[in-house]
């Protein structure tokens, strides 16, 4: 690709309490798709000012990262049930069964990645179904989308419809093949060994997952401590373990590349275990609100060194757009929270949770040019201009007022993956 410079207002996280904001900014992208410069237009080096360029009044910010979502559930959003286990039986398992049909898997995968790029998500960690063939198709469409994708085939060997179950040796063999084909392909794709949760995975399967992930140096993603009924069922299935977290610890699936979805109900002792293993927690607030799982205790993570990410968790979350997850993160707390907290979570915080902070999550020289453009029209900004607003005020408008249709373009590695051409 040809190197270029974009002149635009720039916002980017430095930490959970600090964002840089250049109302009159410039972002330069080199021929490899990496960021060569991100800062004020005034300080742009002359060689970068000489590159091909374009200007926009849209705010340029790091592409959103979705650290937990389900490709195969995209078409069953909005179906309410009384609790998680009933919801899985009534809506999710029947939908996952449909992915055995390759044409259906292809169409849904294509739609899903298109919707993701349109929502401003440039990087995501995704579950597919237990069908290896449908997971292959999903990876083909992920590759075609040009997004940065961590993904894995769902693994279950009990307590779900027979056609979704696999004996551990077969599940591991299929996951190994998928790892060999897709992990680290094109520098954008990664594999995640994906046992669903303690209810639907035997000790044998969980142990095999832990071993495979360690041997292959890949991610593990799973669910934990989402609802009280689920926890009770897991403890009944694993009577030797005093907690859900210890089930996972004893099976060897808590690694520093493990992504644990939810963790709404968790003791301090369990958090100590998770912290010791360096695993990440992925908070999915829309799903917690929708399924009535409870309030994620954000305050329990203060002072801890646990990376806490943010996920849309479609289809328990209704939207792939991380703007909706950010707002839900604030609302589920029952109080207004500083806008940097959710905006950091959906960008650099998630990059840390996914161990991709050296590659993406902020606009810094040397990182991949993964960025989005967001429109902030007069209905939000009113009579103010960008130079009169500070980073906190801009972040607040983004988190609390922008909508999915305000995402105007998404770029990964400097290349356009989606643009709304109706300006």
The region of 13-21, 55-63, 90-98, 312-320 touching Zn ion under the rule CB under 5 A is 312-320
- x-or-dash string of contact with Zn ion, 166-195, rule CB under 5 A: ------------------------------
Look up residue 341 and give its two tokens: 């907290």
Q: Least distance from C-beta 31 to Zn ion, angstroms? A: 38
For Zn ion, which residue has the nearest CB? 313
Question: Restricting to residues 248-267, which ones interact with Zn ion according to CB under 5 A?
Answer: 261
Piece of 137-145, 200-208, 211-219, 310-318 that binds Zn ion (CB under 5 A): 310-318
Shortest Cβ 127–Zn ion spacing (Å): 6
Helix and strand numbers, DSSP H then E, in the chain: 16, 17
Complex with Zn ion: residue 117 or 126, whichever CB lies closer: 126
Whole-number minimum distance, CB 47 to Zn ion, in Å?
Answer: 46
Q: Are 126 and 151 in contact (CB under 8 A)?
A: yes
Cα–Cα dist 130/107, whole Å: 17
If binding is defined by CB under 5 A, does position 96 make contact with Zn ion? no
Strand extents, DSSP E, 186-249: 189-195, 219-224
- DSSP letter assigned to residue 279: P
Structure tokens at 188: 């954008």
Q: Is residue 313 close enough to count as binding Zn ion by CB under 5 A?
A: yes
Judged by phi (left if over 0) then psi (alpha if -120 to 50, else beta), residue 264 lies in alpha
Interface segment toward Zn ion; rule CB under 5 A; list 113-121, 311-319, 340-348, 379-387: 311-319
Comparing CA positions, the residue from 28, 130, 20, 23 lying closest to residue 381 is 23
Length reported for the chain: 423
| 3 state DSSP class of 304 | coil
Question: Considering beta carbons, is residue 88 or 326 the nearer one to Zn ion?
Answer: 88
Q: What span, in angstroms and rounded, lies between the C-alpha atoms of 358 and 365? A: 11
Least distance to Zn ion, CB of residue 124, Å? 12
CB of 196 to Zn ion, least distance (A): 8
Shortest spacing between CB 288 and Zn ion, in angstroms: 11
Which residues are near Zn ion by CB under 5 A? 261, 313
């Amino acid at each position: 690709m040809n190197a270029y410079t974009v002149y635009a207002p720039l916002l980017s996280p430095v930490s959970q309490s600090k964002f840089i904001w250049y109302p009159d900014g410039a972002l330069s992208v080199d021929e490899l798709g990496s960021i060569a410069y991100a800062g004020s237009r005034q300080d742009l080096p002359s060689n970068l000012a000489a590159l091909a360029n374009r200007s926009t009044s849209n705010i340029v910010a790091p592409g959103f990262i979705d650290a937990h979502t389900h490709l195969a559930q995209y078409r069953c959003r909005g179906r309410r049930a009384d609790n998680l286990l009933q919801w899985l039986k009534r809506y999710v398992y029947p939908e996952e069964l449909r992915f055995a049909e390759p044409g259906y898997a292809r169409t849904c995968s294509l739609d899903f990645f298109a919707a993701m790029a349109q929502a401003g998500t440039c990087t995501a960690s995704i579950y597919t179904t237990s069908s290896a063939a449908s997971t292959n198709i999903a990876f083909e469409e992920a590759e075609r989308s040009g997004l940065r994708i961590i993904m894995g085939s769902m693994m279950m060997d009990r307590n779900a419809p027979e056609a979704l179950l696999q004996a551990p040796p077969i599940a591991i063999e299929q996951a190994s093949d998928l790892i060999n084909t897709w992990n680290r392909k094109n520098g954008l794709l990664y594999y995640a060994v994906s046992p669903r949760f303690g209810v639907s995975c035997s000790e044998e399967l969980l142990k095999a997952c832990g071993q495979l992930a360690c041997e292959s140096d890949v991610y593990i993603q799973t669910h934990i401590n989402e609802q009280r009924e689920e926890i009770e069922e897991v403890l009944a299935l694993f009577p030797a373990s005093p907690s859900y977290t210890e089930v996972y610890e004893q099976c060897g699936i808590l690694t520093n590349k493990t992504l644990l979805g939810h963790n709404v109900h968790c003791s301090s002792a369990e958090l100590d275990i998770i912290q010791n293993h360096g695993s990440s927690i992925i908070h999915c607030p829309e799903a917690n609100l929708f399924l009535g799982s409870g309030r994620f205790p954000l305050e329990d993570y203060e002072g801890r060194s646990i990376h806490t990410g943010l996920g849309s968790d479609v289809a328990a979350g209704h939207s792939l757009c991380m703007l909706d997850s950010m707002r839900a993160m604030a609302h589920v707390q029952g109080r207004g929270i500083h806008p940097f907290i959710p905006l950091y979570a959906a960008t650099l915080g998630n990059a840390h949770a996914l161990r991709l902070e050296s590659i993406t999550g902020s606009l810094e020289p040397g990182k991949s040019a993964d960025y989005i453009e967001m429109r902030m029209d007069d209905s939000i900004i009113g009579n103010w201009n960008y130079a009169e607003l500070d980073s906190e005020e801009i972040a607040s408008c983004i988190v609390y007022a922008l909508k999915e249709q305000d995402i105007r373009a998404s770029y990964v590695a400097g290349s356009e993956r989606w643009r709304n051409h109706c300006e």
